[in-house]
Amino acid sequence: MYYTKGPVVIFGVLLPLFLFLAFCIGRNLSSEFLIAGLVSITVFFSSTSVSPAVAPWEGQMRTLERIISCPVDVKTIILGDVLASMAFGFIISIAPLLIGVGIKTFPTNVPVLLGGMAISAFCFSSLGSLISAYPSNLPSTIMMISSLVRFPLVFLSGIFIPVFKLPLWGKALAYASPLTYFTDIARYSYGLKPALPLHVDFAVLILYSILFFALAVKLHEKAILVRIF
């Protein structure tokens, strides 16, 4: 129902591609740096393209009442939304890996990269679900709020500019972003020097995942009745 919707295709597939092309064309950067950045952008945008839109779409189509009348709690409903968005993000993110293979750029640590992709896809999907807790049944409103969150995170997460090149205030903002830690994992997986120890990157992503999901459940428990009435 959701994977082929216009906002999902635009924000989850086309936007990361064109954003990446605008960044890499005309710049003398290594293929490892570029592919790691493309993987990071793709996981982030594709994982946050489905979960923000599910709740307002369900409310707009008046199918939310049917869902909450089932013998499941709100946590289970939100988990289903997050897992669906996570699966979409993970599958779409296979494409940049294949692009890397096509230009003979291979990850040096595939298990670390795939594990990082899975955890970060869940984390970013939970973030998207948290954003959708705003009690509006207009998908355009939620997608606008989502864009206001996503674009600053992309430009402050070391994808386009390595974190060590940022000023002190930029580093502080970068380390507050969950995308920074997956970007670090992706760079490590392609043989580049990470900014942080690998276990720190994974630990922070797991903590953010728990935090975003817990907040999403709490806020949706309050917003769900507002959407119905």
Who contacts 21 (Cβ-Cβ below 8 Å, separation ≥6)?
A: none
* Long-range pairs, 61-69, Cβ under 8 A, ≥24: 64/224, 64/227, 64/228, 65/228, 68/224, 68/228
C-alpha–C-alpha distance, residues 131 and 116, integer Å: 22
Query: Which comes out higher in pLDDT, residue 112 or 154?
Result: 112
Please tell me the number of Cα atoms within 13 Å of 53 on its side-chain side: 24
Taking Cα atoms as reference points, which of 13, 220, 55, 43 lies closest to residue 142? 55
Quote the longest CA-to-CA distance of the chain: 56
How far is the C-alpha of 145 from the C-alpha of 159, rounded, in Å?
Answer: 22
Structure tokens at 14: 């086309």
pLDDT, position 11: 66
Residue 114 pLDDT grade (very low, low, confident, very high; cuts 50, 70, 90): very high
- Contacting residues for 39 by C-beta, under 8 A, at least 6 apart: 93, 96, 97, 100, 113, 117, 186
**pLDDT (tens digit per residue) in 175-217:** 999 999 999 999 999 998 888 899 999 999 999 999 999 999 9
Instruction: Place 10 in a pLDDT band, splitting at 50, 70 and 90.
Output: low
pLDDT tens column, 17-39:
777 777 677 667 788 888 888 89
